[in-house]
Amino acid sequence: MASTETERQYPSFASRAKTVFKAWLKEPAQISSLVPSSHVLTEEVANRDCVRRAKLVVDLGPGTGETTQSLLHHMSETSHLIAIEKSEVLMEPLRKISDPRAIIINGDARFLARYLAEAGLGAPDVIVSGIPFSTLPQRIALQVIEAIDAALPKGGTFIAYQLSNRIEELASPLFGEPEVETVWLNLPPLRVFSWVK
């Protein structure tokens, strides 16, 4: 029922790409990529046992909601997802995701602790991030990583899909060596880094 409702309301790829372009014109360093993620990329991020087992997944920088939809598709019926997107422009497609498991927040990943406390759903099992760490100012990139580290319990999984290796410099001192997969069928091709804390 929830997914049929979402299919009816969720904008087309062309309309989502237009929205991303509008958001990019306002904040190019924050948005970074001009094309919504491909199905191959979102499957690489979401089609995992840790997502299927998770009670709570956090989706940081969901853009128009490609990763959000894929995560919800693989998550269990009783789980929850919190998506935190900074761009007001991108809230329009995100708010059309009609799934009772999803909490969509227009906010900043640096304040993740506050949103988690307000949701009252406990600590996340998985945190996914599409935030472009390579184009963010160093201070902000560090604050986002520190917020992820503070929120993720031992044994939790952190997954970041990125254009550059900068995330490795930021996250490996906290989480150790990542597993890395390159997804060529995405514009641009991206690397998916995963760490188990």
Contact positions toward ligand SAM, by CB under 6 A?
Answer: 30-33, 36-37, 60-64, 66-67, 84-87, 90, 108-110, 130-132, 144
CB of 38 to ligand SAM, least distance (A): 9
Question: What are the helix and strand counts (H, E) for the chain?
Answer: 10, 7
The nearest distance, CB 82 to ligand SAM, in angstroms, is 12
**CA 33 to CA 74: how far, in whole Å?**
24
Residue whose C-beta lies closest to ligand SAM: 61
d(CA 167, CA 148): 12
User: In whole angstroms, what is the distance from residue 30 CA to residue 174 CA?
Assistant: 23
Nearest residue (CB) to ligand SAM, 37 versus 194: 37
Sign of the four-CA dihedral 48, 50, 52, 56: negative
Q: Which is nearer to ligand SAM, 47 or 176 (CB)?
A: 47
Residue 104 C-beta: closest distance to ligand SAM, Å: 12
In angstroms, what is the minimal distance from the CB of 9 to ligand SAM?
A: 18
Considering the complex, state which of residue 56 and residue 183 has its C-beta at the smaller distance from ligand SAM: 183
Q: Which is nearer to ligand SAM, 108 or 168 (CB)?
A: 108
Most distant CA atoms of the chain, gap in Å: 44
Q: Which of 196, 194, 192 is nearest to 44 (CA)?
A: 192
CB of 158 to ligand SAM, least distance (A): 15
Output helix, strand, coil percentages for the chain, rounded to the nearest 5. 45, 20, 35
Give the list of residues 6+ apart from residue 184 with CB closer than 8 angstroms, or none: none
Q: In the complex with ligand SAM, which residue's Cβ is closer, 17 or 50? A: 17
Show the tokens assigned to 149: 């580290």
